[in-house]
Chains A and B, each alone.
Chain A
Amino acid sequence: MQQHMQNNDQNNGWKSRLEDVNAFDGEEIINGHAAWDALYNRLHKPRRKKATWYWMAAASIIAVVISVFLLQSPMNQPEIISTQATTEQRATVNDIKPAPQIEIVAISPQNNIAAPVSPAKKQVKIKVIEQRKKELTAMVLEPVEEIAKEIVPVVVPGDEKVPANEQLTTVQVKPSLKVVHVNELGTDQQNNIGRPGSDYSVLRIGTNNKTTQSAGKIGIQISTAKTSPVN
């Protein structure tokens, strides 16, 4: 029993020495001041982490709202198209295909050096671009009048109240004639001599003598004459 007690004391001897700070004299166990400063900051100073979390939450909410708004706006467009597609007129409008987008590739000298393109690929690319250009020019050169003529306004029964934005699309575009002032008009001979290369209608206003003599009224004859270029 006594031996066991002695053993315990011995055991506690080296154990207690391990926990005794004075046993480690001459060795700095911890830099108490620096560690306390760190602990003090954690205990008493408000952590900025919370604030950043709030900011992040706010930013994410804004991002979600914007993304929902952006996603909804393209989803509304098909509804408008579907209502328009009920009429034939809208069908014709839809038939007009939009001009194909030509991909403009900016080729910088650096890019050229960095990524060399094989000649076969380059030729194919050039061909495709030229074809697209032709298609685009064909679309652009098509007279506006012809496109306008194709658009025939059709009134759907029971749908008399057409919204303003739709009315704009159904207005028929008329070919406008060139307006010539009265003072610019001369004699028939002069009128016949048109400007070379011009192609416009002339509004001729004159008095009919016979009519004025017999009826005592002034008659106005309006006729249009098309001048042709003089060879």
Chain B
Amino acid sequence: MDTAQLLKEARQGSAAAQKCLWDSWCKKMMLVCLRYLKNEQDAEEALLDGFYKFFKNLQGFTYHGDAALHGWLKKIMVNECLMQLRKKNVFSIVTESAAEDIPLPEEALNNLSAKEIMALIVQLPVGYRTVFNLHVMEGMEHKEIAALLGIAEGTSKSQLSKAKILLQKNLSNYATAYAKQRSK
């Protein structure tokens, strides 16, 4: 059954159609939640809340393809994750002046597996991680991030540069550890 038909039936309250949509999107969305929330239980809670809102507000969604559905679902999940973070009062972003733009170690990241990249991102402190995810992964501008998190634009930039520095550092540490392991 195609996604449009599934969405139509899910709108009418069909549990079977909802289950199909859940099965096809839950893992992808869980990966999004895990990037923002370290704890698996918190990520699962955000995922359930997100899907609950998705199914409840399905009436207002018009299907224009899988990419649109993916984008909408992702947006819901990111919002839920941010709400979870706010609820737990884990945001400790200190206002700082804008830092210089530091490039991402793309080559090094490309050499790593998905699990390893995920582990590196999760290791970042919550403030760095959130800004990094929003800017690098979701492609949001610093202005948008600042408005969403209630921080200054400069703070968002400095958080991102610090996140990149830390990521580079962790990458180099990881590379040396990997080299040592190989030499043994």
Contact = CB atoms under 8 A, between A and B. Distances in A.
B106 A7 contact: yes
A174 B32 CA distance: 96
A10 B28 contact: no
Given A10-B110, A32-B23, A39-B51, A27 B31 contact: no
Contacts of B177: none
Contacts of A11: 104, 106
Range, interface on chain A: 20 to 34
A96 interface: no
A105 interface: no
A21 B115 CA distance: 11
Interface string B101-120: 00010110110111101100
Interface string B4-28: 0000000001010011001100111
A116 to B, nearest CB: 49
Interface string B131-171: 00000110000000000000000000000000000000000
Interface in A28-44: 29-30, 32, 35-36, 38-40, 42-44
Given A18-B121, A30-B44, 14 more contacts: A11-B106, A14-B106, A18-B118, A18-B137, A19-B28, A21-B27, A21-B28, A24-B115, A27-B115, A29-B30, A29-B31, A36-B19, A43-B18, A44-B13
Interface residues of B, number: 35
Contacts of B18: 40, 43
Nearest to A34: B44
B167 to A, nearest CB: 12
A23 B113 contact: yes
A39 B30 CA distance: 14
Contacts of A36: 19, 22-23, 26
